[in-house]
Structure 1
Amino acid sequence: MEATVTVTPDQLPELLLHVAVVRPVFLWGAPGIGKSSLVRAFAESLGLECVTLLGTQLAPEDLIGVPQIIDDRSRFAPPEMIARPEPYCLFLDELNAAPAEVQKSFYSLILDRRIGAYELPAGSVVIGAGNRATDNALARPMASALVNRMVHMHLRADVDDWLKWAAHNGIHPWVVDYIVQRPDHLWSAPPKTEQPFSTPRGWHMLSDALHSYGDGVADEMLWVLSSGALTPAHASGFRAYVKTVRHAFDLEAVIKGDAGWPRDPGDRDLLYFLSEAFRARLLKELPASKEHASGGVKRFAMRAKTMLAELAEISVECAQLVISADDDGVPLLPSWFLVEVSRDLPRLAARR
């Protein structure tokens, strides 16, 4: 199912509070963005036990139960994990990854809140969740009859929400600070090949590993850990960021002129990281029109041109990275700045 309107993790609890208590909800989203954690937290906020059923690990009889003979009549007895006397939150995780026969077994439970003679206690909540087919995850088409039995919500990763959560959940400071600087690295689309990719869950796993090793973790081991949890480019960027922390070497020092771009071939990953951070800083600071630039911004733009000339001496590739266009060839930096760069860079390079 394609997302038309999305919600953030911060918006979801209120939506569930008003919708899930009266109608079943299905939560769509990419792997690793926190769907399961949010559902469990919502159930806890209502004082309900969260009972999780994984669609990929169920057979129809696991839901329907087995027949019993009572008073010369057969009756299906639903399993104990479902047939509970007190209200609870029934979380149907990976529902759309279940075989068609298993999905059919959920029809009456989702719409009528009953299986055979057993009915969910009043106050119970039913929430399903699953990945989209575009996520390269296990997902099967959901029959229209099942789709129409639930209210659908599409969850997206949100940097501000994640940072607020991270501040209260012991996420390693290196991870938090890196995401503050590179919010675009919190999540990446799942690759078509079998390799790690960046998600809030991946960053959480890396944080746990860093806490376990301590801040003295060797650079080589840091590379192993980050490469095992993140997209390769993000792992390289994070490794370079940790170098800046350990050596008190940051972009601000380069902008102020207190330090130069790293020239050591062994610090090439650091140079790429600082180049990307420089690009992000330009995108944030420079207005679309020079007329709206303050005196401070104009001075920063002048310094930026000098920095580009210095960077090009070390790596033309990194200098091009800073001013490159997007994937469609559309310039990202303001046109007035790019014009000044093309005009002034040869002169600045000759002066050097």
Structure 2
Amino acid sequence: MRSAVAVTPAQLPEVLLHVAVVRPVFLWGAPGIGKSSLVRTFAESLGLECVTLLGTQLAPEDLIGVPELVDGRSRFAPPESIARDEPYCLFLDELNASAPEVQKAFYSLILDRRIGAYELPEGSVVIGAGNRSVDNALARPMASALVNRLVHVHLNASAKDWLAWAGEAGIHPWVTDYVTQRPDHLWSPAPKVEEPFSTPRGWHMLSDTLHSFGDDISEEMLGVLAFGTLTSGHASMFKAYVKTVRHQYGLEAVLRGDARWPHAPDDRDLLYFLAEAFRARLVKELPHDKAYASGAGKQLAHRGKALLLELAELSLEIAQMVIAADDDGRPVLPAWFLVEVTRDLPRLVAARA
């Protein structure tokens, strides 16, 4: 299921506070973006215990219960995990990955807040969550009767929200600093094959392993961890970033002229990382219209053209990557800057000659 409208992790608590208390909610989102932890945190904010049921690990009788005799009549006794006296948050995780029979067993629990004779205590909330089929995750079609019993909310990953959380959660500074510089690397779509891909969960796992090894971790082992938790391209860039930290070799030094582009063959990954960071800086700080360029923006444009020439001397391919259009063929850098690059580079080449 897709939606043109989505919420961020920071917006979700307010949505749940006003919706989940009156109607059951289904939270859609890609794997690893924090759906489960956000629901648990929301339940804690209400002072409710969060009882999690995994749809993929349930059979219908796990919800309906087993029959027992009471006064000569049989009735179904719901499981202890559900049949509680105090209000709680019932979290139906991976609901849309459960078998059709299990989904049917959820109907009365979701719509009527009851199973057999047992009714959820007043003040309880019911929240479901699941991945989307487009994420190559286990997701079965939900019957229209079940879909119509839920308020559907779509969650997107947000680098701003995640970094705010990471600052208080003890996430490794290499990870937070890198995601601050490359927020677009926090999450990537799931690949078609079985391989790691970047998600907030993946970055969290990488942080935990870095804390375990310590900052003196070898470059080889750093690669093992990064490529084991992140999208391959992001892992390579993260390794290069750590190299800049360890050697105090950053983009700022290159922009100031205190350092040159790295040119050693072993530093190819470092060169690529710095070029990507350079492209991101140009995109962020150069205005769409030159008339609105500040003094710092004009200085960056002037310095940028010289750096592009130096970069092209090392690798024409990487220099072209800096000014390349996006995947849809649309220019990323301002047109006026690209025109100046085309106009001024021959003059800069002649001057250097």
Listed one character per residue, the Cα deviations across residues 274-311 of structure 1 (whole Å, up to 9, x for unaligned) are: 00000000001111111111233212211100000000
Find the counterpart in structure 2 of residue 133 from structure 1.
133
Give me the TM-score of the superposition, normalised by structure 2.
Answer: 0.98
Find the counterpart in structure 2 of residue 61 from structure 1.
61
Residue 96 of structure 2 aligns to a residue whose secondary structure is helix
Q: Give the Å deviation of 1:346.
A: 2.1
Q: Hey, what's the Cα distance between the residues in 1 that align with 2:32 and 2:164?
A: 17
Find the counterpart in structure 1 of residue 308 from structure 2.
308
Q: Give the Å deviation of 1:46.
A: 1.0
Q: Hey, what's the Cα distance between the residues in 1 that align with 2:291 and 2:70?
A: 85
**Residues 1:122 and 2:122 aligned together:** yes
Q: Hey, what's the Cα distance between the residues in 2 that align with 1:11 and 1:330?
A: 31
**Match runs of 1:1-352 below 5 Å:** 1-352=1-352
What letter matches 1:190 in structure 2? A
What letter matches 1:87 in structure 2? P
Residue 80 of structure 2 aligns to a residue whose secondary structure is coil
Q: Hey, what's the Cα distance between the residues in 2 that align with 1:257 and 1:211?
A: 34
Residue 3 of structure 2 aligns to a residue whose secondary structure is coil
Q: Give the Å deviation of 1:182.
A: 0.4
Q: Hey, what's the Cα distance between the residues in 1 that align with 2:61 and 2:144?
A: 23
What letter matches 1:189 in structure 2? P
Q: Give the Å deviation of 1:350.
A: 3.0
Q: Hey, what's the Cα distance between the residues in 1 that align with 2:151 and 2:44?
A: 21
Q: Hey, what's the Cα distance between the residues in 2 that align with 1:294 and 1:132?
A: 44
What letter matches 1:155 in structure 2? L
Aligned residues: 352
Q: Hey, what's the Cα distance between the residues in 1 that align with 2:58 and 2:114?
A: 18
Can you give the 5+ residue segments of structure 2 that lack an aligned partner in the other structure? none
Listed one character per residue, the Cα deviations across residues 198-225 of structure 1 (whole Å, up to 9, x for unaligned) are: 0000000000000001111111100100
Identity of aligned residues (%): 76
What letter matches 2:249 in structure 1? F
Residue 39 of structure 2 aligns to a residue whose secondary structure is helix
What letter matches 1:97 in structure 2? A
Q: Hey, what's the Cα distance between the residues in 2 that align with 1:295 and 1:269?
A: 32
Which aligned runs of 4 or more in structure 1 are off by greater than 4 angstroms?
none
Residue 4 of structure 1 aligns to a residue whose secondary structure is coil
Q: Hey, what's the Cα distance between the residues in 1 that align with 2:23 and 2:41?
A: 18
Q: Give the Å deviation of 1:85.
A: 1.3
Residue 277 of structure 2 aligns to a residue whose secondary structure is helix
Q: Give the Å deviation of 1:4.
A: 2.2
Q: Hey, what's the Cα distance between the residues in 2 that align with 1:65 and 1:27?
A: 26
Q: Hey, what's the Cα distance between the residues in 2 that align with 1:148 and 1:226?
A: 42
Residue 27 of structure 1 aligns to a residue whose secondary structure is strand
Listed one character per residue, the Cα deviations across residues 1-47 of structure 1 (whole Å, up to 9, x for unaligned) are: 11121001001111111111111110000000000000000111111
Q: Hey, what's the Cα distance between the residues in 1 that align with 2:224 and 2:218?
A: 10
Q: Hey, what's the Cα distance between the residues in 2 that align with 1:330 and 1:161?
A: 28
Q: Give the Å deviation of 1:76.
A: 0.6
- CA-atom RMSD in angstroms: 0.8
Can you give the 5+ residue segments of structure 1 that lack an aligned partner in the other structure? none
